[in-house]
Amino acid sequence: MPVLAIAHRAGNSLAGLHAANELGVDVIECDVHQHRGNLEVRHLKTAGPLPFLWDRWELASAAAPRLGLAEVLEANRHGTAFMLDLKGRRPSAARSVVRLLREGDRGAPILVCGRHWPSVEAVARLPHVLPVLSARRRDELVRLERRLAMGPGVHGVSVHRNLLGRAVVARLAQRTEVVMTWPVNDLASLDALLDVGVTGIISDESEVLAELLRRRSAAS
């Protein structure tokens, strides 16, 4: 199985979506939030009643237009697989994603990932949805390995690169089809993570994804 090239957050904008499709990646990832009943794709978080969206080093006006998940899915004319990263712990968000994905045939399978696994598993009850369980912290990785030991049903895992080594990747790969990792934003990191056996590279950098695709093509 070739190592998957996954464009991190590329689905959070139409420009990023089109650029990822032009590059020829396997999977386009986007961050899915539910806000006031709407499914939005964005990395920035709301700040309660305050009039801005924020991340650690970024602020944006809360009044700026927001891209909807339905709009992004509709704009994907290439049929590239999406990975929806479900943010938050609201059961209503998972139900809204299920309703949207039921509306029509999207072509390629949809991967759904997140650190709140009940939401991921709720959406993955749809027949064309593949669940990917995420782990960011050491305690989450411990729980993830316990969850995988309980039996089949998980298509893949997405684990922060700082938690991975050869032994961990080998254990995960015994129980799931795809072991993804992030962030992989330079070629040295790419080399190191391929060396320990990961099968999905999640990157913000087009140069890293292009190099992965080039190596795959050369090896085929």
For residue range 18-33, what is the model confidence (pLDDT) as tens digits?
999 999 999 999 999 9
**CA–CA dist 193, 119 (Å, integer):** 28
For residue range 81-99, what is the model confidence (pLDDT) as tens digits?
999 999 988 899 999 999 9
Strands 38-41 and 110-114: unpaired
* CATH number for domain 4-219, candidates 3.40.50.720, 3.30.70.100, 3.40.1190.20, 3.20.20.190: 3.20.20.190
What is the number of H-type helices and E-type strands within the chain?
Answer: 8, 12
**CA–CA dist 32, 84 (Å, integer):** 6
Specify the residue for token string 């997405």: 158
**CA–CA dist 170, 199 (Å, integer):** 11
**CA–CA dist 35, 68 (Å, integer):** 10
pLDDT profile of the chain (220 residues), mean per 10: 94 93 96 89 58 48 67 85 93 93 74 96 94 98 96 92 97 96 97 98 98 94
- Domain spans in the chain, listed from the N-terminal domain onward: 4-219
Sheet containing strand 45-46, strands side by side: 45-46, 52-55, 58-61
Tell which residue, 76, 194, 188, has the closest CA to residue 180: 194
Q: For residue 194, what are the CA distances in angstroms to 3, 34, 97, 128, 136?
A: 8, 35, 33, 28, 19
SS3 for 114?
strand
Contact criterion met (CB below 8 Å) for 220 and 45: no
* Residue 3 token pair: 């190592």
Strands 38-41 and 27-35: antiparallel
**CA–CA dist 212, 17 (Å, integer):** 18
Q: For residue 165, what are the CA distances in angstroms to 160, 171, 196, 202?
A: 11, 10, 6, 16
